[in-house]
Amino acid sequence: MKNRLRDLRAAKGWSQGDLADALGVSRQSINALETGKFDPSLPLAFRIARLFSKRIEDIFDDGLGAMKRAAE
């Protein structure tokens, strides 16, 4: 699943380690999320969204959201 995690983290000036500590996960988890190798569970997706004060669909894109917007 595509996501904007790397951009959002960079905009805040945080390292992967900073973000990992804030979410209580490993730094490797953040790397796997940012590279799209791992999709978060719903609770983790909510924690990420709340951390950046955004909605889940503003950060994660399963492809259907973009298709829906294009259709509109």
Buried b (16+ CB within 10 A) or exposed e, 26-46: eeebbeebbeeeeebeeebbe
- Kindly tell me which residue out of 7, 11, 50, 54 binds other proteins, with binding defined by CB under 8 A: 50
Residue 42 CA to residue 69 CA, distance in Å, equals 23
CB-wise, 22 or 66, nearer to other proteins? Answer: 22
Give the amino acid at 44. L
Binding letters toward other proteins, positions 6-45, x by CB under 8 A: ------x-x---xxxxxxxxxxxx-xxx---xx-xx--x-
**Cα of 37 vs its chain's centroid, Å:** 12
Closer CB to other proteins, 37 or 68, in the complex: 37
List residues binding other proteins (CB under 8 A): 12, 14, 18-29, 31-33, 37-38, 40-41, 44, 47, 50-51
